[in-house]
Amino acid sequence: MVELLRTHPKLLVGGLSLDNPHYLGPDAYVASRRVRAWAALSESERRVAELAADGLSTTDVAAAIHPLSRRDVDRSLHRIFRKLGLATREDLVRFVTERRHAR
């Protein structure tokens, strides 16, 4: 229910329309979801994401995290993209870079 509240700027309470104190604008809402999604990634997924964001190819990520295969890395990246709501490696690079600067 709280997630639903964060997406609406107004609340209807007892017939009154009130400003929603929990509302997050679209950009802030997506950012907050990604922060929680990053925390929900496994340690292995976070490592794959960090290496891929550093510009390593799928093959190079697999070599850096032995015994992962190239196929394992590819599957991990697909899960990471889905969990974080990202579409491309460029999106991943941007997200990881922003996380690093926010620390």
CB 41 within 8 A of CB 35: no
Residue range of the domain that includes 92: 41-103
The string of pLDDT tens digits covering residues 28-55 is 888 888 888 999 999 999 999 999 999 9
Based on the domain organization, do 101 and 53 belong to the same domain? Answer: yes
Domain count, the chain: 2
Looking at the structure, tell me whether residues 80 and 34 fall in a common domain: no
Q: Are 4 and 46 members of one domain? A: no
Instruction: Look up residue 101 and give its two tokens.
Output: 């600067």
Are residues 53 and 63 both part of a single domain? yes
pLDDT, tens digit (0-9, with 9 covering 90-100), for 4-30: 778 889 988 999 999 999 899 988 888
> What's the CATH number where 98 sits?
1.10.10.10
| Three-state SS sequence of the chain | CHHHHCCCCEEEECCEEEECCCCCCHHHHHHHHHHHHHHHCCHHHHHHHHHHHCCCCHHHHHHHCCCCCHHHHHHHHHHHHHHHCCCCHHHHHHHHHHHHHHC
| Residues 33 and 48 grouped into a single domain | no
Task: Judge if 53 and 84 occupy the same domain.
Answer: yes
Which pTM does this prediction carry?
A: 0.73
Centroid of chain to Cα 24:
17
How far is residue 49's CA from residue 91's CA, in Å, rounded to a whole number? 11
